[in-house]
Structure 1
């Protein structure tokens, strides 16, 4: 957890916020979105095509594969966003799918990765995603995009100090510049959501923003409203920021660990001589908690481990299901089912985790597991406690009581989780909780922020 003192926001260089429109970009761990604020104040959100449907977000992923040329030579080809997922799912021989790159920006030791014999810097990989994101937005908005107000978390995943956060921002800036941007200004992501909420107000308020992304949960306490805008925003309007490096991805991992992995044999045992031992090494199941890691298990070494485990297992049917998931590279489909059960538990006290998919060689995995909201909340209890402590510490450090906060605006996918909402309802009252456009409000507000920056400042 990390606190950053209130400080003046950086201003854009000449030309930002003028012309055809001002651009806000929310580059997320899992998904990204782009918004354009026109001179009339209206905001347009970019949309993207995925499996024939228009969606408001661009998956923050990069898929690299090797294609054979007419001469028989192999060359690397890359796809980003929704196209990356489509090509990954459709490929018989999987290439390399890279996601959650934002989570690595604060690391000084992770500088890059090797793909098909070539070393790629993290900034280069991020830039590839951002370049396509910019191109898609330019085609839709009908204008060249070289300037943008970009969101950043209060605390980057893996950052232990303000210096780590500054290092991550510098790498993110380099990535945007490499992607063809010329003027990039940064704003805290929860403040982007605050500006989106502010646009709906006819009076001033003291608000708490909770922004729940894929990798981080960020919180800001600030004053907003038309009166603030008229007099001009200053540093004292931002009372404080804080964040913690966990959010939706952590919740998903808990479901996989507690619900899915046991159904695939994580707790199963096997006979080895005169001993009863775990059937499968724990590290194999750890790869299930991030869906794209499953591809790393499709090796001859893992296949031999699982064949041996199947022959000795006390519950061979579970090992067989695991083998089907790995051989079929069904990580994406499995995690879609995880997302679905999380959604259903946000609306019902109990549901059933359902996953059925045919693997190779006509084998089929069929999981139907009842699960209650209470069980899920026990699994994420430690994460919830971290969020609670984060919010309480923000209030304490800012010298603000819960009663003084006029509104709590929650955004991001995990803001729908009832246990998350209860954290805020118990402190501020359910009548003060607001939401809306949970997946695009940050980009929306960042575009408004960019449009309001005076030229030349």
Structure 2
């Protein structure tokens, strides 16, 4: 049996074909979409749990070495894994939010797969992360269908990582392929996510059209200009109908991060000044000299840059705690820096970004959204206005629109229609930005979350039937 598999940055989903119609399968209770999250007692628990409870063997000698190291570290920490200690999706998120310090939590590992400079042990670990998530999804899909699923078309972005080029793309696709093979898939094909979304839209066309597909997902934005319609739908090779491609690692996660940075991190000291300490009631000489110096921006960016391995490592490393305490000592607003220290101590970066995402979704329907943010023993309250959000996310929005410009430079013709898909495409301000970029071209949308998955299932029917 074959499926289309959307291993997404924000959510994962799979679909099978029934009577030439894609059907999404439930993956978490009755939900067809499972958040791309995982938690375990420790980082090292992932590899051991995959081997011990999911019956997945290491890929090679490097993987065996990583597994032995993980088991040894767990034993040194007296961690004895039990069935159910590794969790996925919403369950993983709920466990993390309940006590962030007690678990290892990762969101959107797909964001890291094309990162530069990954060492062999890191590559092996990311493969284990992806494999565990894929194995969980495959098992749930097989339980629903009561069939062995051995073939899959897996979606991939045009570019996994903006600066890594084709080498990064090969690295990321290699991790996905190895992980899927270890999870039990015997035949694996890949298809570009915007092309897959376009294939689902094509099923609705009664005449040929030139379609610009704009897929704004959680981690990437991809654009494809494609000839579509009855004359093309039966072709097993669509390369001649693809008129242009562009893609970059900028998506909904970036919108959330920029919104958190601009609107929430000032509560943690962003923009405040050094020079707040006093000696005998007056500022010290060193503080007076430094009173016009703002806090270092990286200390406020790194904790919320949840799609950047290096930034997260830099913020949460042990030596940074001393640096944060020194900043608090010298701060004009030490109470704000106390919140940043709490972010470090309680690993709150994911929670802050999640609050920003909540505001982004709320502002799709109203002009103002109120947030309540618990930090240590404090409850912070902040109102965010729609215009403030649009201003905060201007940088990633412009990057998304630049991809549209890039595709149109490759094109020999204008699109007849724009098909907008992906979870982040629901945001009205992104549609307005696209309308300004390409005026007088109608914009349509289908299932924002499911179009890619459905298209992957359609392509799986073509390549595996």
Q: Measure, in 1, the Cα distance between the counterparts of 2:440 and 2:184.
A: 44
Instruction: Summarize the alignment of residues 162-241 of structure 1 with structure 2, pairs less than 5 Å apart.
Output: 162-230=166-234, 234-241=238-245
Aligned residue in 2 for 1:284: 299
SS at match of 2:227: strand
Choose from 108, 116, 119 the match for 1:111.
Answer: 119
Query: Which digits, 9 at most, give the CA deviation of each residue in 1:385-423, with x for residues without a partner?
Result: 32223212212212112xxx2221111122123332123
Aligned residue in 2 for 1:411: 421
Choose from 6, 12, 16 the match for 1:32.
Answer: 12
Q: Measure, in 2, the Cα distance between the counterparts of 1:409 and 1:249.
A: 21
Query: Which digits, 9 at most, give the CA deviation of each residue in 1:363-405, with x for residues without a partner?
Result: 12212134332x333333333332223212212212112xxx2
Query: Which digits, 9 at most, give the CA deviation of each residue in 1:233-278, with x for residues without a partner?
Result: 6432221211122111211111121111111112222435322356
Aligned residue in 1 for 2:408: 395
Range that drifts further, 248-257 or 164-173: 164-173
Normalising by structure 2, report the TM-score: 0.80
Instruction: Summarize the alignment of residues 428-443 of structure 1 with structure 2, pairs less than 5 Å apart.
Output: 428-429=438-439, 432-443=442-453
SS at match of 1:334: helix
Q: Is the 8 A contact 1:61 1:80 kept in 2?
A: yes
Choose from 58, 61, 64 the match for 2:40.
Answer: 64
Aligned residue in 2 for 1:345: 363
Cα gap change, 1:180/1:317 in structure 2, threshold over 3 Å: closer, same or farther? same
Choose from 56, 69, 78 the match for 2:86.
Answer: 78
Q: Measure, in 1, the Cα distance between the counterparts of 2:317 and 2:125.
A: 26
What runs of 5+ residues in structure 2 fail to find an aligned partner?
46-72, 278-283
Larger relative contact order (CA 8 Å, sep ≥ 6): 1
Cα gap change, 1:332/1:54 in structure 2, threshold over 3 Å: closer, same or farther? farther
Instruction: Summarize the alignment of residues 307-456 of structure 1 with structure 2, pairs less than 5 Å apart.
Output: 309-310=327-328, 312-348=330-366, 350-357=367-374, 359=376, 363-373=377-387, 375-401=388-414, 405-429=415-439, 432-453=442-463, 455=465
Asked if 1:41 is matched to 2:20, the reply is yes
Q: Measure, in 2, the Cα distance between the counterparts of 1:441 and 1:234.
A: 18
What number of residue pairs does the alignment pair up?
419
Choose from 85, 93, 103 the match for 1:95.
Answer: 103
SS at match of 1:389: helix
Query: Which digits, 9 at most, give the CA deviation of each residue in 1:186-242, with x for residues without a partner?
Result: 100001111111222233221111111122110111122233225766432221211
Aligned residue in 1 for 2:3: 23
Q: Is the 8 A contact 1:252 1:289 kept in 2?
A: no
Cα gap change, 1:309/1:429 in structure 2, threshold over 3 Å: closer, same or farther? closer
Cα gap change, 1:82/1:300 in structure 2, threshold over 3 Å: closer, same or farther? same
State the 1:97 CA deviation: 1.7
Asked if 1:263 is matched to 2:267, the reply is yes
Range that drifts further, 201-210 or 265-274: 265-274
Q: Measure, in 2, the Cα distance between the counterparts of 1:419 and 1:92.
A: 33
Q: Measure, in 1, the Cα distance between the counterparts of 2:444 and 2:254.
A: 24
Aligned residue in 2 for 1:148: 152
What runs of 5+ residues in structure 1 fail to find an aligned partner?
1-20
Q: Is the 8 A contact 1:269 1:314 kept in 2?
A: yes
Q: Measure, in 2, the Cα distance between the counterparts of 1:285 and 1:232.
A: 49
Q: Measure, in 1, the Cα distance between the counterparts of 2:170 and 2:313.
A: 33
Range that drifts further, 364-373 or 274-283: 274-283
Q: Measure, in 2, the Cα distance between the counterparts of 1:132 and 1:147.
A: 16
SS at match of 2:194: helix
| Larger helix fraction of residues | 2
Cα gap change, 1:46/1:430 in structure 2, threshold over 3 Å: closer, same or farther? farther
Q: Measure, in 1, the Cα distance between the counterparts of 2:146 and 2:314.
A: 41
Q: Measure, in 2, the Cα distance between the counterparts of 1:299 and 1:232.
A: 50
Range that drifts further, 240-249 or 381-390: 381-390
Cα gap change, 1:284/1:74 in structure 2, threshold over 3 Å: closer, same or farther? same
State the 1:435 CA deviation: 1.2
Query: Which digits, 9 at most, give the CA deviation of each residue in 1:323-350, with x for residues without a partner?
Result: 44444444444323211211233333x3
Q: Measure, in 1, the Cα distance between the counterparts of 2:7 and 2:140.
A: 14
Normalising by structure 1, report the TM-score: 0.81
SS at match of 1:410: strand
State the 1:320 CA deviation: 3.6
Cα gap change, 1:365/1:309 in structure 2, threshold over 3 Å: closer, same or farther? farther
